Amino acid sequence: MDISSAKQWALLDIAAERVIDALQCAGVQVVVLKGFALVGTTYQAAERPMQDVDLLVDDPERAMQILREQGAEPVPAQDRPLAPSTRSAWGWISREGAHIDLHRAVGAPLRWRPDVPGIFERATKHKVGEITTYRPCNEDLILTIALDLAKDDFCGKPKAATDLQRIVARLDVDWQIVIQRSDQWRCKIALWCALQWADIMYPDEVQTALRPSLLRRTLLQRSVLSSPRDESPRLERQLRAGLVLSDDSWRFVAAGARFIVLRSADWMLVTMKSSK
């Protein structure tokens, strides 16, 4: 690891420990997601490159208030009223200069149905520095990473492939629970794509339970699993890939329509408040 990476890791580690401690002391439930959820489980400290700290919180509004009190600033263009129906994360810059993402959900909650209360209930204890916090259980860890990948239509994020490979190789995973939960979350296709994308070896019965139809597999290979990665604009990419990545294509269409209505209402509210 080079010096710049070491400095980046140290900055993130200090910021994560301080912010998590402040949130938990204020009564906000915290579950660490993505990279910091893997440190000490599948990676040694500073072994995995990271650019930010992702925290799932049960009370985003209270959490953002705490971050302000701690000297953090919202990422430019994100300091606007909460829009919980259309937004699932808010970016902040800590006083150390670290990027902190506060999540109220995982993936895109309008496209899938992640069980956020269940993630909190099943979370297992996890150390960040000297602070004891929580991370998703092993099965939820796989699903949250799969949904994060599917949300961006599998463009970029090469670290996630190694993350999934290490989780499967080094942690105890109950695949029957993974299958059952992916069905409940309506994300079986997204999970299958994530495992294919990361070249994961898993039991045949899991392959049978998750594998989409031949037509769907063909569309997935052409739209989200092809190489080189699709570099088209994000909206165009999501419209093309979203239908085949959703277990229920009609749900994706309905989610898109609902998003447009809610986001339009949100911007109208922002405009009215800013004009006063």
Residue 113 binned pLDDT confidence (cut-offs 50, 70, 90) = confident
Q: Read off the pLDDT of residues 45-58 as tens digits, 9 standing for 90 and up.
A: 767 878 899 999 99
pLDDT tens digits, 173-226: 999 999 999 999 999 999 999 999 899 988 889 989 998 888 888 878 777 777
Report the pLDDT value the prediction gives residue 55, as an integer from 0 to 100: 98
| Residue 133's pLDDT band (cuts 50, 70, 90) | very high
What angle, rounded to 10 degrees, do the helices at 138-151 and 175-184 form? 50
CATH fold of 1-80+90-136: Beta Polymerase; domain 2 (3.30.460)
pLDDT: is 154 or 17 the higher one?
Answer: 17
For 11-70, the DSSP string reads: HHHHHHHHHHHHHHHTT--EEEEHHHHHBTTTB-TTTS--SEEEEEES-HHHHHHHHHHT
pLDDT digits (tens, 9 = 90+) for 135-182: 999 999 999 999 998 888 777 677 888 999 999 999 999 999 999 999
Q: What is the DSSP letter of 247?
A: S
Q: Where are the domains of the chain?
A: 1-80+90-136
CA terminus-to-terminus distance, the chain: 51
Whole-prediction pTM: 0.83
